[in-house]
Amino acid sequence: MIQLQSYVLGGWSKGQAPFRDLVNPATDERVAQASSNGLDMAAVMDHARTVGGPSLRAMSFEERGAMLRTWSKALYAAREALLDVTMVNAGSTRGDAKFDVDGATGTLSYYAGLGKKLGDRKWLVDGESEQLTRNSARFYGMHIRVPIQGAAVHIGAFNFPAWGTFAKAAVSILAGVPVVTKPASSTAWITHEMVKVLTDQGLIPPGVLQLICGSPGTLLDHLGPQDALAFTGSADTGAKLRGGHGPVHASTAVNIEADSLNAMVLGPDLERGSDLYHWVKNSIVLEMTQKAGQKCTAVRRVVVPESLVDALTEDLSEELARISIGDPRAEGVRMGPLNNRAQQEDYREGVSLLSGEGRIVYGDPERESFEGVKDGQGAFASPILLRCDAPLQAEAVHAREVFGPVVTLCVYDGSVAQAAAIVAKGQGMLASTVASSDRKFGGELVFELAPYNGRVMLIDKKVCDQATPHGMVLPNLNHGGPGRAGGGAELGGLRGMEFYMRRVAIQGNRGLLDKLFA
Ligand code: NAP
């Protein structure tokens, strides 16, 4: 069995017993072990701050971008091997493995391009400079952004060990801040292999990227005021970290990406059989089945007019019945298992809770029989469609994220006011979609949904054949949502870099400021 090591202090380091097992959730086989016990976390942080930080800050955006480009190319060249590891570690289908691994190389490449555009500079100018007093045309003020002088600690969720790690790393490194990354233990093998590809080719300058496989140990106790913590995972863990020693006592910058009850609202103008209706139907099926619904951005609630709910239930049920679920190595399988048995248990509990406020109209949460596996083997889950006829009176439907292939159809009266009120009950989402070709309805609803979401898609009949899927996170657009979703903001091109760069006001002689910083 593979024993994962951590890449720290310039070399690969073995952890000590006890080890945590990594299990292929399709076969129940133990495939690897990880432990970070015995690592000196204070030294890891120090190495990032004193070795990685200075060398990154000595580089221009263009040079950092060029480094990210080499990473993207090297990982792309190793793509087949990385997809294989993803399939074994996460039990993913090949399509789901590509979604994660290609997301990583794509985001690295995007930030490499941004670095090139930013050119031979080491700071960002923030807004216009301004004359500060009425009688002096010389005394000016301006704002610039400079990289913080600490380290970025990144903690990732199990569902995106590739994209999650490198999307965060790309932004931080382009900003000029070294990274200590800790992926979720259960899928850390994938991240381990990716970092190994880079270290084997000598592509990581000392201290710029360190990897912890296993628990974070005391890592977070060593956070200081110039460090940053970016976390992705459950709201419960996020809340613990926000209140931890480092963040509170040292005022460390914290970014939390957490749970989200994302919504898709179908306008009252939507007609069964139209192109837009097909897009909606296919999108819902994709959101439910891609990565077995284990995407933070996946649609959890579909807000559907009463006049359309029966037809949509029938059409979705037909589509879902066609999806073959099982061991991704078996012929024709399109959906793999959940991440582990605990997630399967959580899915069953969640569906049972939601069933108290709606009724199951498709799927069986206790289903045990799947393609290519013995009955009861693996952490598989049937897609579940629920119908809730009184969503404004429901609570769990809007509060319990079932992290799996589960969607609730929330019936509404077709008005902007009711749709907005239903979506808002989710108390902060990563992404919501409005599917309507009625400009007035779409325009008014987007405005209502905007304060509750990190990203809103407005899809009409003219764009539905070109639109990216609801759950796809793009590096040039904001990712992160208010409230329950954690209140974080990542990516969004330059915007994501702001988290790692301190904005400072500079006052002085206009000519000198222009020379030094403009
Ligand atoms: P989790 O249990 O909260 O774990 C997330 C990460 O936190 C893991 O790396 C975990 O390490 C680590 N961790 C756990 N306890 C910790 C502690 N006390 N101190 C420091 N680190 C700690 O979440 P998950 O089950 O992996 O992920 C699923 C959740 O993530 C879902 O709710 C999903 O919505 C959310 N998610 C959100 C986004 C987003 O962008 N908003 C993206 C993906 C997933 P170990 O694995 O070693 O325990």
Query: Does the C-beta of 226 come closer than 6 Å to ligand 1?
Result: no
Closest CA to ligand 1's atom 35: 233
Q: What is the pTM of this model?
A: 0.95
Token pair listed for 69: 């480009």
Structurally, what CATH architecture does the domain formed by 262-474 represent?
A: 3-Layer(aba) Sandwich (3.40)
Please give the distance, rounded to the nearest whole angstrom, from the Cα atom of residue 254 to the centre of ligand 1. Answer: 15
Q: What is the pLDDT of residue 182?
A: 98
What own/partner pairs with CB < 8 Å and gap ≥ 24 does 347-350 have?
347/381, 347/402, 347/403, 347/404, 347/406, 350/400, 350/401, 350/402, 350/403, 350/404, 350/406
Residues of the chain with CATH 3.40.309.10: 262-474
What CA–CA distances, in Å, run from 439 to 446, 452, 460, 461?
A: 10, 20, 9, 11
What is the spatial distance between Cα 183 and Cα 36, in angstroms, rounded to a whole number?
12
Largest CA distance in the chain: 83
Q: Which has the closest alpha carbon to 181: 196, 201, 161, 197? A: 161
Q: Which residue in the list 213, 287, 296, 388 is annotated as catalytic?
A: 296
CA nearest neighbour of 292 among 352, 231, 233, 333? 333
Whether the CB of 233 sits within 6 Å of ligand 1: yes
The pLDDT of residue 111 is above 80: yes
Q: What percent of the chain has pLDDT over 70?
A: 100
Q: Is the pLDDT of residue 251 over 90?
A: no
List the Cα angle 255/260/266 in 5-degree steps. 135
| Residue 197 in contact with ligand 1 by CB distance below 6 A | no
What does the pLDDT average to over 405-411? 98
Instruction: Tell me, in angstroms, the distance from the centre of ligand 1 to residue 261's CA.
Output: 16
- The residue whose CA has the least distance to atom 13 of ligand 1 is 237
> Which pLDDT value is given to residue 264?
98
- Please name the amino acid found at residue 78: A
pLDDT digits (tens, 9 = 90+) for 49-108: 999 999 999 999 999 999 999 999 999 999 999 999 999 999 999 999 999 999 999 999
pLDDT of the residue at 241 = 87
Q: What is the pLDDT of residue 96?
A: 97
Give the CA count within 13 Å in the CB-facing half-sphere of 129: 23
Domain with CATH 3.40.605.10 in the chain: 40-258+490-517
Reply yes or no on whether the pLDDT at 235 is more than 90.
Answer: no
Ligand 1: does its nearest atom lie under 6 Å from the Cβ of 336? no
- pLDDT for 181 equals 98
Q: Is the CB of 155 under 6 A from ligand 1?
A: yes
- pLDDT class of 240 with cuts at 50, 70, 90: confident
Residues 165-210: tens digit of each pLDDT: 999 999 999 999 999 999 999 999 999 999 999 999 999 999 999 9
What is the per-residue pLDDT across 9-53, written as a single tens digit (0 to 9) for each?
999 999 999 999 999 999 999 999 999 999 999 999 999 999 999
The reported pLDDT for the residue numbered 136 is: 87
pLDDT in tens, 347-393: 999 999 999 999 999 999 999 999 999 999 999 999 999 999 999 99
Contact 380, 27 (CB under 8 A): no
Q: Is the beta carbon of 156 within 6 A of some atom in ligand 1?
A: yes
pLDDT at position 65: 98
Residue 246 reports pLDDT greater than 80: no
Architecture field, domain 40-258+490-517: 3-Layer(aba) Sandwich (3.40)
Q: Is 296 a catalytic residue?
A: yes
Residue 248 scores a pLDDT above 80: no
CA–centroid distance for 372 within its chain: 30
Annotated catalytic residue, options 257, 357, 401, 448: 257
- Secondary structure class of 136 (helix, strand, coil): strand
116 CA → ligand 1 middle, Å: 33
